[in-house]
Amino acid sequence: MGGIWDTIAAYQYMFVIGIGRKIDQPLIDPFFAIFLGSFFLCFAYLQFLSAFNMRRYVFNVGCLLFGRLFYVVQLYAAMIFVPDFPTTFWFTGIIDGLLVILYLVFAFRGGLSLRSLFLPEMNRAVNQAK
């Protein structure tokens, strides 16, 4: 679900958000909108890979989890403390917050620990072969 959400966000940033486009509050230059969209495509790709083999891509899941959580905190802090910051993005904070919770639920149900999300273990067989 996170990969689908980030693919939608990539499309929005690349083709809808930016100065002179359909959504331009807050103002963002088209270059930066496309730049952000490219990152969303990268995140979507990592999430699609992680969905097929979470144990193999567990570190990616941890990075995405950390990044999403940082985004949610930053977004709501801006909406609360920055005067005239548009509140039109509140729904993205809710969706991204739910995705963080889902990452944790699926990781724990899959037998992964919080440590393995952020400090992946090296495969001993690979190390012995070297």
Look at residue 15 and tell me whether its pLDDT is greater than 60: yes
Residues 6+ apart with CB under 8 A from 24: 17, 18
Q: Taking residues 100-115, report their average pLDDT.
A: 85
If one compares 5 and 51, the residue with the highest pLDDT of the two is 5
CA distance 10 to 27: 17
Mean of the per-residue pLDDT values of the chain: 80
Residues 6+ apart with CB under 8 A from 58: 50, 107, 112, 116, 117, 120
pLDDT level of residue 7 (50, 70, 90 thresholds)? very high
Regarding pTM above 0.85, the answer is no
| 45-67 residue pLDDT tens | 888 887 777 667 777 778 888 88
Indicate the domain borders of the chain: 2-129
